[in-house]
Structure 1
Amino acid sequence: MSRMTSNDRIKRNAIERHIASKTYQELERIDKVNDQKLEENILKQFNSQYSNQTKFVGTSDQKYFLNILHFLIKKRLLAPTKKAVISSTFYALRILLREYEFLLVFIEENGLLGLKQQMDIYAHYLTPNLSDSNNEVSCVTSNALGDILILIGSPDHAEQDSLISSNIIASITYLLNHRHFPFLNETLRLILHMIDKSELYMNEFLQSEIIENLLHLLEYKDLETTQLSFHLLATFFSYPGIHQYIPRIPDDYLYTFTNYLNHSNVKVLEHAIWCLAHCAANEDERRRIRLTGAIPLLLSLLESGERFEYSSPSTKTNRIQSGSSTARQTQGDLEETKKYSELDQFYDMQSSCCNCLAELSCDNTNRQTIIEQNGIYILAVLLFPKDKELQRLETFIHLQRTVFKTLRFLYPSNENHHRQQYKRLFPPNIFELFVGAGYFQRDPDAYRAITHAWNAIPLDELNQIKTERLLAINPKQEPTRYIRDYGVYECLGSGAFGSVYRVATRGSTTMYALKEINQRSLKADTDRSLGDMISEVSIIRAKPRHPNIVSYHQLFIENDNIYVRMELIVGSTLQEHLVLMKRTNQTISKENIWRVFIQLMLALRYLHKEKGIVHRDLTANNIMLDDEYRVKITDFGLAKLRDDNSSKMTSAVGTLYYACPEIIQHCNYNE
């Protein structure tokens, strides 16, 4: 093809000037006669001629382009008659607003207000139901609204205030009430882009009813709409200021998010999990999330690997930390691209699970629930790569970091039995790095060193650790042994006089605590019976029954050991709870402090006045709490059942820091 001569160029420019000037003149003439069909033809010709042009300022036709812009704004968008503007108008505006200076003119002349008016006209009056794809007006309307959304586009900081003051965000939110899915999804993408660009937009949308609208969209069962809606919900709930707008997350929100943990699509799962993770901001919300049944579902997602459906491969490059990535992509191997896209999606979803479990484990009851449901073993399995290539996949490495993070959040402060599980799993150098990471470090970078050291272990050694160490921490489903009819599942703790086990009777799933007391550890006393030698036996005989006192059920002797079956309390000691509050920078509310205090006073009054029992070792370690601050007083090993003829006691027993002044001064004392 020969090059364009100067004469040809001059001729072309003359034709373009003619089109630009003619368009403006025709628009002015048509405005007087109100011929909409002719106007549409003129604008279509204009759009066809300039569809690829991006520069209008500095050209010989600049004044004509500017005049056309002024006309479209003042006589169409801001027309006093408030009629629906034809679709070609929006397309012409899209072309002209590619020029930044024209965009500023558009804002200065209240073009955004005109767009809002047009959006409201189309959305409210023309087609209440955009889902009717056979309706010609619906198609025109959805196309026009789509053009408006593109015009709104991605305003820079200079235009944000104008866009917000135009109240156009309320109109965008209203569009979520319609069910024309292609247009609806474009609206969702626009909102995602806007809130990602500016915190101002985030606040404006949160002041609307957008959360309720997004939850309503989940009912439509359109996969893309569900993915985008959950993506938006997760983004909104990740915003630090969300509680200004939703002070207390409603229960139905939490149940909705938990219900979607049964979904088959990994992207839907990932966003639903992040919604729960972001909602776990305080102890009340963590407790209510547990009550939805989320914890076992999250753990099951970490065990599953085959039942998921995946979205189309992302346009993002696969994140392999290796030079082979580029080579693989240049080969255009679609199957390979699909494989790694699915791996990325799968490991991202599992990472979100781990992060959610970590946040939930900031509550002692949740932590205990995760551990009792084999959480340590389920998480630890994820640390082991199947092959060397997996060790170079960034999303898998990130998953390993979040696994170490979650295990560290679950790591107890003073429960030696569960600490031993970690020591059995990790080699000494890994365990040292694990402990050194510190308590409740949310930043994934805090776990880079341990992840790097773990992946530096040769693959055959990791397989050996998996075979020898990992299987050792997998709790057996069957009892380890039986004591009479009680199957022993776990040792809860040990002391000088014996141990406490978690047990269940044969054929039952109801768990109890069974205290085992070794008779050889007790000092012989020929003047008193065996029952009188054990303080807790006297308490059992007194049959205390109070909601704030641990319940004793049975006493028996087996193989020279004394066994006391008692209530198994789910929760943590007050001491553990105080430590957790300190390490997570939380405080106990005044309401809950009073709740604990009143329950303690009621329990002590019952013991002293109705049963004549003095505990004599009431410490923070002997007070159990659940996540609703219900109190249980435990460990009556030093308790005294007062004799009728004695009003004072003399024994100096108990924990010194909690002792009453009379004991410190070696004086007689009573309750």
Structure 2
Amino acid sequence: MPDQDKKLKSTEKATDKKPHGICMRDYSDLKRLQSLLNVQSSNQQLPGIHFESGQTSVTRAWQNVKSNEQKPHGQWQESTEAVELEKFSVTYKNERNFSKHPKHKLFQEVFTALVKNRLTCREWVNQAPSIHFLRVLICLRLLIRDPCYQEMLHSLGGIENLAQYMETVANGYLDYGEEQHYVDKLVNMTYIFQKLAAVKDQREWVIASGAHKTLVNLLSARDSNVLLGTLLALTSLAESPECREKISELIIVENLLVILHEYDLLSKRLTAELLRLLCAESQVKEQVKMYEGVPVLLSLLHSDHIKLLWSIVWILVQVCEDPETSAEIRIWGGIKQLLHILQGERNLVSDRSSVGTLSSANAAGRIQHIHLSDDLSPDEMQENTFSLQAACCAAITELALNETNAYQVVQANGIYTIAKLILPNKERNTEKANLLQCYAFRALRFLFSTERNRHIFKRLFPTDLFEIFIDIGHYVRDISAYEELVSKLNLLKEDELKQIAESIESMNQSKAPTKHIGNYAILEHLGSGAFGSVYKVRKHNGQNLLAMKEVNLHNPAFGKDKKDRDSSVKNIVSELTIIKEQLYHPNVVRYYRTFLENDRLYIVMELIEGVPLGEHFHSLKQKQQQFTEERIWHIFIQLCLALRYLHKQKRIVHRDLTPNNVMLGDKDKVTIS
């Protein structure tokens, strides 16, 4: 065509001077490709996937491709342009700085022609063979690695066209199967969008093109390379709050949970990181709750990969802001799993991979050769471990806002486990170690805010440190509020630190019991009252934890002399025997055994997982919260049912019903003790 010939000649004149330091062959190849690309319509014989939206055009394109696959090989001769495109992709596969290359003007003109005369030319796209368009995408992918070309793609209007084409190809892929040409195109396109989204100011271009909607749809992709490319692009987008908000408007969590439950380690890692970013949005947290994501998330706490664990724990930190989800995490065993990670007894692994390196490897087909469990240096491994432990402390902190959760942390030896993390260690990375100390102190301070735990801390710190600890205040989330405490601790003398370490060690519930009463090992002192003390105990050779009340029979309330005391004890034992045999009600504590030893009466009963109602009143006041009317009715009705059972059916009067004798358990289950 005359006009096209004129354009070719004028372009050749503009770049006919060969730059210094370039071999003639490379220069000629680039000139030839530039000339071919400046022809604005394709004369290829092969049918392409039509650049139209809608189900009909996709179906027609799919049928064209399938029918042409059956033709003899002779009819599939590749054009000169296709050959030159492939040659370009092979020659420059390792080049990244095209804008600083001696041939930078030629590269710029090739890129401009690829976008204007191929990518954004609907006539060409509709006629081009699938393999030909794939080669165009590969060349664009290589050039787009240079940031200057990313801006050029935007200014030439290429992003919108690429987004539309990705939508069409994605629909064909998801509806009709994993044909390789679909897979290859989607891998290249997701890479281009990841590169664009890696730059903060460019993410709005991707969102404006609507590409994020197609990327979310591709989370159901079965091909691992398509899925990885999709996850990497969405993760880069989700770094910006505005993009997160747009992504969270879509139904995304269901597919993410499927990947976390069923796919390989790398897919799980990237998915967990994407979900961690998205959980900043309330809509995403609601989706996690709606699709029952807590069991899936907790199952991944058994992993040995630090980066996966870190992302999962920070997801839990965010979702447990919802009271129901917080309780669900406890019910599924999440508190014990977090404490187990903090104990540091597991052999964990990690690696140096990043979104950028993984994206490049995936697009180039090298993802299988990436080492996902590199041997990191001891310092790198230590830093990663500190970050994971800090995340676990943050999760415990949020969970401790629920009194029943806080109680379980204490019962699971959590104060001892967390307190060990505050001790300074000169061999540790100072900045990361200090931050971990702050997170550990915050978790301890939240646990201290629950009134029944406060007696434990009185023997933990020296007086001046304890005063700073108290002065921080209840339920203060700001991590900087704990920096003074860490600084003060780290300046203490060696003998003072040793004393704190010994105090912490004395709180270890896992150490062998130092005292036995009857057939029971004393594990922990739970509290004291007017008539004696209450302990947490375990029967010899048993597994279940029980509560045992120790009553001092020399208390004047039992009588002035031995005869009166013996009579009182006989009546109490008789009453307890009747209670033990007759009382079976879900809202009344179970009594198992009474026995006498050394002028003391011991009553073995059910250990109630919960907090006294009186303490709960006080805790709500400190958190500036109130009982809802629904909660009040729920608790009141249970109290009435328990008292009706005692009074009407068993003819028993409690005689000491106070808020501290009413225990609140999971889901506000009431137990009268």
TM-score (norm 1): 0.76
Which letter maps to 1:70?
A: K
Partner of 1:595: 634
The residue number in structure 1 matching 2:401 is: 362
Matched AA of 1:206: S
CA pair 174-190 structure 1, distance change in 2 beyond 3 A:
same
Cα distance in 2 for partners of 1:112, 1:442 equals: 45
Cα 1:122–1:352 shift into 2, 3 Å: same
- For 2:587 and 2:244, the matched residues in 1 are separated by 46
Q: 1:446 to 1:503 in 2, by over 3 A?
A: same
Query: 2:17 aligns to what?
Result: 11
Structure 2 residue runs of 5 or longer lacking an equivalent are 1-12, 21-26, 48-76, 357-373
- 1:142-157 aligned within 5 A: 144-150=188-194, 153-154=197-198
One of 578, 583, 586 as aligned partner of 2:617: 578
Contact 2:342 / 2:392 at 8 angstroms: preserved in 1? yes
1:564 paired to 2:607: no
Q: Distance in 1 between matches of 2:111 and 2:169?
A: 24
1:488 to 514, 522, 534: 522
Aligned to 2:39: 26
Mapped to 1, the partners of 2:572 and 2:637 lie a distance apart of 25
User: Which residue identity does 2:39 align to in structure 1?
Assistant: E
Aligned to 2:70: none
Question: Equivalences for 1:451-490 in 2 at 5 Å?
Answer: 451-459=486-494, 461-466=496-501, 468-475=502-509, 477-490=511-524
Q: Which amino acid aligns with 2:396?
A: L
**Counterpart of 1:213 in structure 2: which amino acid?**
N
Match of 1:128 among 178, 203, 215: 178
Provide the identity percentage. 28
Mark the CA change 1:535 to 1:223 in structure 2 (over 3 Å): closer, same or farther: same
Verify the 8 A CA contact 1:27 1:39 in the aligned structure 2: no
Corresponding position: 1:517 with 2:551: yes
Shift of 1:344: 0.9
Equivalence for 1:340: 379
> Is the 2:218–2:230 contact (alpha carbons within 8 Å) kept by the matching residues of 1?
yes
Whole-angstrom CA distance in 1 between matches of 2:157 and 2:572 = 81
Q: Report the secondary structure of 2:546's partner residue.
A: strand
Name the aligned partner's letter for residue 597 of structure 2. E
The match for 1:184 among 220, 224, 227 is 227
User: Is this contact kept in 2: 1:234–1:274, CA < 8 A?
Assistant: yes
Q: Provide closer, same or farther for how the CA distance between residues 310 and 595 of structure 1 changes in structure 2, counting only shifts above 3 A.
A: same
Shift of the alpha carbon at 1:631? Answer: 0.8
Alignment partner, residue 619 of structure 1? 658
| RMSD between aligned residues | 4.2
Would the aligned equivalents of 1:424 and 1:472 in 2 still touch at CA under 8 Å?
Answer: no
Paired with 2:248 and 2:215, the residues of 1 have a C-alpha distance of: 13
Residues 604 and 465 of structure 1, relative CA distance in 2, 3 Å threshold: closer
Q: Distance in 1 between matches of 2:106 and 2:128?
A: 34
Q: 1:148 to 1:30 in 2, by over 3 A?
A: farther
Residue 213 (structure 1) aligns with: 255
Pick which of 258-267 and 616-625 moved more.
Answer: 616-625
Change (3 A) 1:535 1:27: farther
* Deviation for aligned residue 1:571: 0.4
Correspondence for 2:350: 310
Structure 2 residue 451 is the aligned partner of structure 1 residue 407: no
Partner Cα distance (2:202, 2:269) in 1:
31
Deviation at 1:419, TM superposition (A): 3.3
Partner SS, residue 608 of structure 2: coil
Give the residue type in structure 1 aligned to 2:545: M
Give TM-score, length-normalised by structure 2. 0.76
Contact 2:323–2:402 (CA under 8 A) maintained in structure 1: yes
**C-alpha deviations, 1:553-605, integer Å up to 9, x for none?**
44444322333333322100112223333444555444333211111122222
Aligned residue for 2:115?
69
1:263-302 pair list within 5 angstroms: 263-302=303-342
Residues 211 and 60 of structure 1: is their aligned pair in 2 closer, same or farther, counting only changes over 3 Å?
closer
TM-aligned CA deviation for residue 617 of structure 1: 4.4
Q: Aligned residue for 1:256?
A: 296
Cα distance change on mapping 1:140 and 1:625 into 2, 3 Å:
closer
Q: CA 1:39–1:591 in 2, change beyond 3 Å: closer, same or farther?
A: farther
5+ unaligned residues in a row in structure 1: which ranges? Answer: 1-6, 131-136, 317-334, 635-671
Distance 1:457 1:243 in 2: 43
CA 1:423/1:176 → structure 2, altered by over 3 Å: closer, same or farther?
same
SS of structure 1 residue aligned to 2:585: coil
Task: Tell whether the 8 Å contact from 1:23 to 1:46 is kept in structure 2 after alignment.
Answer: no
SS of residue in 2 equivalent to 1:11: coil
- Indicate conservation of the 8 Å contact 1:401/1:447, yes or no: yes
Contact 1:119 1:145 in 2 (8 A): no
**1:450-494 CA-partner distances (Å, limit 9, x unpaired):** 11111112456424542x333322236444433333333222211
- Secondary structure of 1:86's match? helix
CA–CA distance in structure 2, aligned partners of residues 26 and 256 of structure 1? 54
1:103 & 1:389 partners in 2: Cα distance?
A: 50
Kindly indicate whether the alpha-carbon contact (under 8 Å) linking 2:183 and 2:223 is maintained by their aligned counterparts in 1. no
Question: Partners in 2 of 1:573 and 1:51 — Cα distance?
Answer: 66
For residues 532 and 609 of structure 1, do their structure 2 counterparts lie closer, same or farther at Cα, with a shift above 3 Å needed? farther
Q: 1:345 Cα shift?
A: 0.9
Does the 8 A contact of 1:146 with 1:186 survive in 2?
yes
Q: How many residues align?
A: 594
DSSP 3-state at the match of 2:459? helix
CA distance in 2, matches of 1:494, 1:340: 47
Alignment-mate amino acid for residue 168 of structure 1: A
Alpha-carbon separation, structure 2, partners of 1:148 and 1:138:
16
Are the equivalent residues in 2 in contact too, given 1:382–1:400 (CA < 8 A)? yes
Cα distance per residue 1:495-533 (max 9 Å; x no partner): 233222223333323333322222322243689786569
User: Which residue of 2 is the match for residue 224 of structure 1?
Assistant: 266
Q: Which residue identity lines up with residue 134 of structure 2 in the other structure?
A: S
Match of 2:165 in 1: 115
